[in-house]
Amino acid sequence: RNMATLAGIRVDISSPPSSAAPAALELSGDRDNASDQFVIPGNAVSTTTGFMRGHGTFTRDGELIATLAGSVQQVNRLITVKPVKSRYNGEVGDVVVGRVVDVQQKRWKVDTSSRLDSSLLLSSVNLPGGELRRKSVEDELMMRDYLKEGDLISAEVQQVQHDGSLQLHTRNLKYGKLAQGISVQVPSYLIKRRKAHFHSLPCGAAVVIGCNGHVWIAPELREDADGGYNQDLEEVISLETRSIMARLSGCVRLLAAHCVAIYDTTIMAAFELSANHKASDLLNAAVATEIASLVVRKIRAEATEEEL
């Protein structure tokens, strides 16, 4: 008889957690309340005059009023309100992970969880067989062989169009089509922009942290000369690597649920601090809150240490 049939069934039915995940972390006292000034739409941003009106504000009777819910940011005399929640706003140079949704004339449309689909031009990808070659009509006809609908890619933002849509490029060996792995979608505002977004973690797996909130967990980082277009779908990832990846995905999810910034340090901290639990236990709300608060405590301890 089939192994899985005989394997035990595990069910856990309980009452919902008494407070939502971010609030639970706040209650643990491990996170201090931010010192930023928070406003909601209609709040006065500043009562003193002489400021310039930035994004997220408007003037009424000479007073600056917020149009968004978020924190007030000031650069010299320019005042803006940065929204707490928003879709991904791309910046040139960002590493993103996106999914191809459409193949069009000389371009792919890529879903990057931005307001509009991003485009990846055929002329801004590396195709197999040499970096600097002109794209021919044959290449145009073979576009779907390289990337088709549903494929995941890592790319860099090359340009932000006037309408806010992004133009991507993959002209670097580290970018391109992604092979086997786990993708985890988190809110883009939780991703911390860093120098490096490709990490080979010491635990034995790799992550690509897309600025658009798409975290890709893979067995290893690849730098294929062919841009990853030739994939071996027969390859079986070892159980050991797989369990590391499963744990990493659980860690990323729990960090996101508790509104903890996501970058290599927090992911690794969560991975190490969760060692006492099974990877599947990270789905449990109480365990997740416990680990998130340990991570926050650890990061803060390290930050104060650096100050000293």
Partner 1 sequence: MDVRLSDAEKVFIIHGVQEGLRNDGRSCGDYRPMYVERGVLATTDGSSRVRIGGTDLLCGVKCELVECEDSSKETNRLEFSVDCSANASPQFIGRGGDAYAEELSDALHFAYDNERSIPDLAKLTLSPNHFWRLYVDIVILQYGGAIIDAAAVAAKAALFDTEIVEVVTRQADEKKMTIDLPQGHLTWKLDVKSAPLISSITKIGSTNVVDVTLGEETCSFAALWVGGSVQKAGTEPLVTMTRQAGGGSLDAASINDMIQMGVNAVGRLDAKLMERLAAEETTIPGQTFLA
Residue 275 is a binding residue for partner 1 (CB under 8 A): no
| CA-based nearest residue to 179, from 145, 221, 148 | 221
Residue type, 118: S
Task: Check binding of 69 to partner 1 (CB under 8 A).
Answer: no
CB of 41 to partner 1, least distance (A): 23
Q: Spell out the residues 6+ positions from residue 22 whose beta carbon is closer than 8 angstroms to its own.
A: 257, 258, 259
Residues of span 156-185 touching partner 1 by CB under 8 A: 177-183
Instruction: Give the nearest distance from C-beta 112 to partner 1 in angstroms.
Output: 14
Q: Which helix (H) or strand (E) holds 152?
A: strand 152-160
Buried b (16+ CB within 10 A) or exposed e, 207-244: bbbbbbbbbbbbbeeeebeebbbeeeeeeeeeeeebeb
Interaction of residue 252 with partner 1, rule CB under 8 A: no
Residue 7 lies near partner 1 (rule: CB under 8 A): yes
Q: Is 204 in the site for partner 1 (CB under 8 A)?
A: no
For 77, residues 6+ apart whose C-beta sits below 8 A from its C-beta are 50, 51, 52
Choose among 26, 151, 31, 165: nearest CA to 97. Answer: 151
State which amino acid sits at residue 282.
L
- With CB under 8 A as the contact rule, the residue among 142, 225, 283, 301 that binds partner 1 is 283
Binding marks (x or -) toward partner 1, 85..124, rule CB under 8 A? Answer: --------------x-x-----------------------
**Amino acid residing at 255:** L
Q: Is 273 in the site for partner 1 (CB under 8 A)?
A: no
Near partner 1 in 213-232, by CB under 8 A = 231
Q: Does position 31 bind partner 1 by CB under 8 A?
A: no
- Dihedral sign, Cα of residue 237, residue 153, residue 185, residue 296: positive
Give the nearer residue to partner 1 in terms of CB position, either 84 or 285: 285
Residue 1 binds to partner 1 (criterion: CB under 8 A): yes
- Our finding on whether 242 is near partner 1 (CB under 8 A) is yes
Task: Point out which residues bind partner 1 (CB under 8 A).
Answer: 1-5, 7-16, 99, 101, 149-152, 177-183, 231, 233, 236-237, 239, 242-243, 245-247, 249-250, 253, 278-285
